[in-house]
């Protein structure tokens, strides 16, 4: 029924929407599996259209469905390197404390001293990644932590005031998000080897960490002040390999660790010279996006025209040559006489081979300051926000919505008395309220069975959409975009409404279609949310409505005087009969508001967010249908879109 109300359809084509829910690079998190009867299902990681994808290989046999899904109890903030928010306050001079907790129970904290009385809106940028992070380990809750912040799985965040001067005051918060700190340099220098006394490189790693897999061979390291690529250099790093056997070669490794400093990097660069004819490999060893140890080794001579010679050469190797290693985690740079285990590089017949390296660095493109992801805009009513308050001893705290720098803000009114803190805290769940559609890529083989896309909120209410025949795409990637208004009721939790501010789980199910083969594969990539395809408003030629603006969307009918009702402001080209219909996502008429005959020109029509029985509507999405019919010419406008109710 809802589809008829909207006149819309799911479509294939185009690209993913803006905010990524899951890049689908790791199949292990898609562990919520169920099958019907004798059906079988295996979920694995495969190559996607972008990076990896998650694929379900299934055989329905006599069963009717298979399903795989993932819980969304944490948020990935690894795309940036800082938390940002706006603040201002009044009263006594106290400190602001921000804490992050990851899925393992580790809490990390940062205190901004004596700023709670800042009178003007100020942006805080607190780094959790990089060489000098602001957040430091505070304590562990539970026993599964490792004292390292897992930025791919943030579970909770807390913000509040800690005691400095004491007393009382207010603190306003707005626009909490994930931030990318600008990269104002074009290179990261790991080591120029000019300081011949230090034992660590510029980023703190032990440059003399060595790996040797051949007891019959040996190697040595030294600074060489005579061999340097330019007059501006003091020394280079010399490595001498001594061949002691014929069956296996040694590998040597200076390690250069990097922590979250290589965003937007493009290539590894260093100066090299050696004994003419020397051959070796170079690689990176680190972890991939799933924190699994990986290594990529390449043949260095592939990037040297004419090979290694006794003249200094600038070597440039694109980072795309190392596809398995994540450059946002610790990694090491290898120089080796083996490319892979058991695959050796032939060495010159000489008993010893020498190689010099210098000015080891990675180049990157400049990156501007940018907010990459909104964690909370502080626009929702407090009762629906998910934030709870906590205080120490007899401190008092209340928080309500207030006018923000952007939209609304939360105002914390506190008094310490003998307490030392007053904070608000919330679980960081997936909040898709700012979007209006889900999007994902599918690639399927086998029968043209149906795909069900299911969304479950925090209280267990589930809505879904059936994509008929979508399990077969002839092996090609297809993009599906599902407006929220296309979702239908599937099962109830504590209520029947889907809370878009707390999405707890997403599932993909393959259901049997009559006459289709029972086996196949279905790969999913780039699950995201964002703006839905535009809905035709019929405001163009032939319509009687010149323009329509909806004020108070999302609406919060909680009696606080802020966005308690929806106002439709419209301009009619001619006198028309106006009617407003409001439906829920199941297509049931919630309310009809006859506007009567309105004169040409600007007009308004209000909805108090109550249903036909006079009850305030629950949280969730509604669909409005705004109709205007000319009283004389027969012209007509039919405008349809979404209203979010957030109490």
Per-residue model confidence as pLDDT tens digits over 197-244: 766 655 444 544 444 444 445 667 778 889 888 877 888 888 777 665
Give the three-state DSSP class for 4.
Answer: helix
> pLDDT at position 89, please?
93
CATH 2.60.120.10 is the classification of domain 187-364: no
> pLDDT at position 585, please?
67
**In terms of pTM, does the model score above 0.95?**
no
Q: How far apart are CA 2 and CA 8, in angstroms?
A: 9
Name the phi and psi angles at 410, rounded to 5: -105, 130
Q: How far apart are CA 125 and CA 112, in angstroms?
A: 10
Quick one: how far is CA 193 from the chain centroid?
38
Tokens of 469: 């025949």
Q: How far apart are CA 401 and CA 172, in angstroms?
A: 9
545-645: CATH topology:
Immunoglobulin-like (2.60.40)
Give the tens place of pLDDT for each residue, 498-555.
888 788 899 999 998 888 888 899 999 889 887 655 444 444 556 888 888 888 877 8
Backbone region of residue 342 per phi and psi (left: phi > 0; alpha: psi in -120 to 50; beta: other values): left
Q: Which CATH architecture has domain 10-73+432-530?
A: Sandwich (2.60)
Place of tokens 């904290």: 109
Q: What is the CA radius of gyration of the chain?
A: 30
**Peptide linkage before 554 cis (omega within 30 of 0):** yes
Give the tens place of pLDDT for each residue, 580-626.
999 876 677 889 999 999 999 999 999 999 988 888 888 777 888 88
Give the tens place of pLDDT for each residue, 289-326.
555 666 677 777 777 777 788 889 888 888 777 777 66
Give the three-state DSSP class for 174.
Answer: strand
Reply yes or no on whether the pLDDT at 32 is more than 80.
yes
Name the phi and psi angles at 60, rounded to 5: -70, -30
Q: Are 607 and 582 in contact (CB under 8 A)?
A: yes
Tokens of 88: 């201002």
> pLDDT at position 119, please?
93
Q: Worst-scoring range by mean pLDDT, 431-435, 444-448, 504-508?
A: 431-435
545-645 has the same fold as 10-73+432-530: no
Q: What is the mean pLDDT of the chain?
A: 79
Residue among 337, 332, 338 at smallest CA distance from 354: 337
Give the tens place of pLDDT for each residue, 86-109.
999 999 999 999 999 998 899 999
For the chain, the domains span 10-73+432-530, 82-162+370-427, 187-364, 545-645
Q: What angle do CA 570, 575, 577 make, to 5 degrees?
A: 75
Reply yes or no on whether the pLDDT at 7 is more than 60.
no
Question: What contacts 232, CB < 8 A, 6 or more positions away?
Answer: none
């Amino acid at each position: 029924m809802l589809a008829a109300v909207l006149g819309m359809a799911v479509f294939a084509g185009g690209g993913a929407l803006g905010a990524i829910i899951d890049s689908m690079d790791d199949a292990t998190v898609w562990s919520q599996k169920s099958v019907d009867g004798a059906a079988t299902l295996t979920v694995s990681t495969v190559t996607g259209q972008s990076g990896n994808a998650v694929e379900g290989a299934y055989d329905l046999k006599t069963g009717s469905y298979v399903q795989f899904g993932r819980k969304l109890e944490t948020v990935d903030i690894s795309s940036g390197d800082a938390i940002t928010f706006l603040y201002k306050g009044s009263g006594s001079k106290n400190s602001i404390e921000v804490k992050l907790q990851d899925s393992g129970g580790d809490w990390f904290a940062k205190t901004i001293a004596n700023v709670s009385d800042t009178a003007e809106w100020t942006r805080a940028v607190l780094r959790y990644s990089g060489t000098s992070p602001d957040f430091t380990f505070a304590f562990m809750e539970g026993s599964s932590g490792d004292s390292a912040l897992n930025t791919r799985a943030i579970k909770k965040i807390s913000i509040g005031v800690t005691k400095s001067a004491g007393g009382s005051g207010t603190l306003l918060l707005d626009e909490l998000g994930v931030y990318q700190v600008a990269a104002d340099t074009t290179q990261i220098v790991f080591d120029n080897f000019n300081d011949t006394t230090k034992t660590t490189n510029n980023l703190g790693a032990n440059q003399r960490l060595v790996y040797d897999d051949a007891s019959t061979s040996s190697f040595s390291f030294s600074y060489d002040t005579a061999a340097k690529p330019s007059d501006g250099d003091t020394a280079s790093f010399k490595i001498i390999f001594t061949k002691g056997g014929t069956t296996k070669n040694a590998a040597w490794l200076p390690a250069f660790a990097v922590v979250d400093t290589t965003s937007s990097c493009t290539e590894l660069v260093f100066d090299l010279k050696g004994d003419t004819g020397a051959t070796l490999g170079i690689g990176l060893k680190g972890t991939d996006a799933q924190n699994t140890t990986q290594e990529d080794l390449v043949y260095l001579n592939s990037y040297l025209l004419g090979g290694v010679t006794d003249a200094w050469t600038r070597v440039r190797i694109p980072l795309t040559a190392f596809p398995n290693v994540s450059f946002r985690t610790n990694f090491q740079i290898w120089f080796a006489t083996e490319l892979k285990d058991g695959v050796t590089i032939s060495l010159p017949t000489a008993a010893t081979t020498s190689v010099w390296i210098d000015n080891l660095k990675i180049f990157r493109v400049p990156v501007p300051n940018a907010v990459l992801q909104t964690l909370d805009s502080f626009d929702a009513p407090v009762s629906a926000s998910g934030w709870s308050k906590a205080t120490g001893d007899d401190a008092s705290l209340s928080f309500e919505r207030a006018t923000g720098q952007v939209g609304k803000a939360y105002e914390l009114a506190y008094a310490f008395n003998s307490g030392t803190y007053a904070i608000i805290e919330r679980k960081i769940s997936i909040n898709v309220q700012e979007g209006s559609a889900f999007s994902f890529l599918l690639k399927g083989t086998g029968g043209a069975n149906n795909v069900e896309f299911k969304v479950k909120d925090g209280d267990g209410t589930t809505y879904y959409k059936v994509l008929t025949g979508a399990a077969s795409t002839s092996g090609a990637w297809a993009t599906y975009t599902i407006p929220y208004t296309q979702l239908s009721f599937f099962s109830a939790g504590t209520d029947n409404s889907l809370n878009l501010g707390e999405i707890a789980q997403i599932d993909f199910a393959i259901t049997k279609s009559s006459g289709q083969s029972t086996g196949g594969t279905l790969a999913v990539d780039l699950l995201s949310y964002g703006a839905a395809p535009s809905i035709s408003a019929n405001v163009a030629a032939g319509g009687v409505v010149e323009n329509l603006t909806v004020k108070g969307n999302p609406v919060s009918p909680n009696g606080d005087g802020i966005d308690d009702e929806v106002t439709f402001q419209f301009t009619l080209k001619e006198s028309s009969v106006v009617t407003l219909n409001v439906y829920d996502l199941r297509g049931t008429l919630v309310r009809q508001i006859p506007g009567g005959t309105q004169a040409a020109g600007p007009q308004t029509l209000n909805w108090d967010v109550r249903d036909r029985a006079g009850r305030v509507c629950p949280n969730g999405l509604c669909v409005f249908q705004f109709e205007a019919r000319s009283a004389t010419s027969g012209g007509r406008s039919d405008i349809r879109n979404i209203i979010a109710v957030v109490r």
